[in-house]
Amino acid sequence: MQKSDNLIFDAEHIWHPYSSVTMPSPTHEVSSAQGVRLTLADGREIIDGMSSWWSAIHGYNHPRLNQAAKQQIDNMSHVMFGGLTHSPAIELARKLISITAEPLQKVFFADSGSVSVEVAIKMAIQYWFAQGKTDKRRLLTIRNGYHGDTFGAMSVSDPDNGMHYLFENVLAKHIFAPAPDCQRDEDWQPEDIAVFKQLIIANHQHLAAVILEPLVQGAGGMRFYCPEYLRQVRVLCDEYDVLLILDEIATGFGRTGTLFAYEQAGICPDILCLGKALTGGYLSLAATLCSVKVATGISADGSGVLMHGPTFMANPLACRIACESLDVLLESNWKQQVQDIEEQLLTELLLYKTRSLVKEVRVKGAIGVVELNEELSEHMSWLPMYIVEQGVWIRPFRNLIYIMPPYIINSKDLSQLTRAMGKIIEALTKKVA
């Protein structure tokens, strides 16, 4: 198919995520979107299995979110948050406090998930600094994690298997425990937490916080682990006086079957990072919530202001849409929708478990993962085009084919996505044979 002028210009001048400008990855021009479908500039329609990197949980062009955006933009699209405030931010903070764990009473708005992680790290370090414990400035985390592409976030993402190994020598040095292997509480053994426990005992005098993605490790490998691991981490953090940061940027707002993944472990973090689905995929917005203990502790020395202030912090347009998105979510039957997606994914993806190229099939909530024995990097010259030919949008990475569809997807469209995953496996099998 001949490239349009737009795609030619794009390939010559625009840098896309995780891509080379000299050998650009194939791209597809989207002209509009509605529900779970993207309409390409050439007229083809494809079903979005990615929720636009896990954010568009209500699908596209939602009438209530559109209306909220139109009303707010006629009022004001932006105003600085330094020394000023506005009702969209106040309303959103009220909503977030009401749906998260009771100790989380303070809200700091940021403009992206990565920045919310940076803020969380700053909160933790400043908290201990204000207590006079200036040696507590390192973090403990687990391998296979991913927390964002800014420098603080990169420093707590997997240093070897992640995307940031090139920056190893310029990143802050933190401490990494093995990624947990226990996928179910029924399989829990005390040795599952043994190395993590040793590390927190040996280093707690220098640890400001533990940071984890609860239950689901996202872009670091789409790995799932059991709630008991999270419970044990909370106990150890309390015992050894270390703060707990939970990064729910990918898992928040229902994706794993509960509103927040930490609920499945029955715990509460000291600091919570939210983003992605917060605005239903309309605008970039994130929030870092913390306990009163952390917030007041930062000011314990009398001059402890939190040293962060993004230009677009608490953008009124984004906040108003986020308020409406939360209302849409909470008024919907989201829990049943996610459960239905999970059951269908289990039924349809487990059919591929016996394929020779398949290492493992994993499903949790509205997340379906097929892990392969083969890395996909050498196939990315043809694979994106092949996927679109199946009438779907799926973006594999490393050795993973996965989907995180909008909650509103119906069973027929979901089946088209899972069938496409099977066709991808078949096509790859022929290529590597």
pLDDT digits (tens, 9 = 90+) for 417-426: 999 999 999 9
Active site residue 276: yes
Phi-psi region of 48 (alpha: psi -120 to 50; beta: other; left: phi over 0): beta
Residue in 111, 158, 192, 247 annotated catalytic: 247
Annotation says 18 is catalytic = yes
Domains annotated on the chain, with CATH:
5-61+333-432 (3.90.1150.10), 65-331 (3.40.640.10)
Is there a contact between 169 and 149 (Cβ–Cβ < 8 Å)?
no
Q: Which of 18, 238, 301, 353 is labelled catalytic? A: 18
What would the mean pLDDT of 192-212 be, rounded to a whole number? 98
pLDDT-derived band of residue 302, with 50, 70 and 90 as boundaries?
Answer: low
**Counting runs of H as helices and runs of E as strands, what totals does the chain give?**
13, 16
Catalytic pick among 127, 146, 229, 352 = 146
Q: Write out the two tokens for 269.
A: 């973090």
Exactly one of 95, 122, 197, 276 is catalytic; which is it?
A: 276
Residue 60 falls in the annotated catalytic set: no
Write out pLDDT tens, residues 211-244: 999 999 999 999 999 999 999 999 999 999 999 9
What phi, psi does 359 have (nearest 5°)? Answer: -90, -45
Residue 252: name the closest of 141, 158, 113 by CA.
Answer: 113
| Confidence check: pLDDT of 163 > 70 | no
Q: Answer yes or no: 402 catalytic.
A: no
d(CA 360, CA 372): 7
pLDDT tens, position by position, 107-133? 999 999 999 999 999 999 999 999 999
| pLDDT at position 170 | 87
Residue 223 DSSP SS3: strand
Tokens of 84: 């000023």
pTM: 0.96
Give all strands (DSSP E) within 145-235, no chain letters. 175-177, 207-212, 216-217, 223-224
If phi > 0 it is left, if psi is from -120 to 50 it is alpha, else beta; for residue 302 that is left
Average per-residue pLDDT in the chain? Answer: 95
The secondary structure of residue 61, as a DSSP letter, is S
Reported as a pLDDT band with limits 50, 70 and 90, residue 162 is low
DSSP result, 272-308: EEE-GGGGTTSS--EEEEEEHHHHHHHTTTS------
| The predicted structure's pLDDT at residue 193 | 97
